Amino acid sequence: MKPKAIVIGSSAGGLNALKEIFSVLDSRFSIPIIVVQHVSPHSDNYITTYLNKICAITVKEADEKEPIEGGKIYFAPPNFHLLIEEDNTISFSTEERVNFARPSIDILFETAVFAYGSNIVGIILTGANNDGAKGMKLINQYKGVTIVQDPKTAEVDTMPNCAIAATKIDHILSLKEIGKLLMKLDRE
């Protein structure tokens, strides 16, 4: 069954990793993608502007209460946790940092599971802490699909290794292979 959403967590080295994955997606790609990229609280929207210029589908910073639509890539804004509501909309929180981060990958993943159940794909990419490992475990428990960047190909392998240590991972792949798998899942 085609997933209802894809959630991605990345940190140090994430821009290059996301660029490589998203470059594989074509203009017909229809599964919504929601991303937490660890950035400075004072960061501008450089990442979304840059990726939107090179991607075949729309890349944008998410807006409060925005309905999640297929064929779009949504990024959490700096200094806000991004939550997925059960009515398929986005909301924000300024609750305390989780794993030293706001936005937190774990919060995105946990709320995505409660919104989509087993119809979710979780992806952990390069990064320097354990954010996302707990969320991947929950996605696995709910029978969603779990994907981790091969730690050998990660700019910083801590996040992929923490996710692999936390739970059974369905796919450990290079970035290009992740992009190809997402295309395959979209065509199901």
Q: Where are the domains of the chain?
A: 5-186
Question: H or E element: which one contains 159?
Answer: helix 158-166
- Give residue 187's pLDDT: 92
Indicate the SS3 state at residue 119: coil
Q: Hey, what are 126's tokens? A: 């390069």
Across 60-86, average pLDDT:
95
Does the annotation mark 10 as catalytic? no
What's the mean pLDDT in 108-122? 97
List 10, 11, 81, 157, catalytic entry: 11
- From residue 130, alpha-carbon distances to 25, 127, 166, 175 in Å are 27, 8, 10, 19
Q: Give the active site residue among 38, 81, 157, 186.
A: 38
Tokens of 19: 């660029």
The average pLDDT across 69-92 equals 94
Asked if the model's pLDDT at residue 41 lies above 90, the reply is: no
pLDDT at 107: 95
Q: Is 131 among the catalytic positions?
A: yes
Active-site residue (options: 10, 81, 131, 157): 131
Predicted pLDDT at 124: 98
Beta-carbon count within 10 A of 184 CB: 9
Q: For residue 43, what pLDDT is reported?
A: 78
Check if 38 is active-site.
yes
Which architecture, in CATH terms, is 5-186?
A: 3-Layer(aba) Sandwich (3.40)
Tell me the per-residue pLDDT of 134-160, one tens digit each, with 9 for 90 and over. 999 999 999 999 999 999 999 999 999
Are β-strands 145-149 and 58-61 bridged in parallel, bridged antiparallel, or unpaired? unpaired
Rounded to the nearest angstrom, the gap between the alpha carbon of residue 54 and the centroid of all alpha carbons in its chain is 18
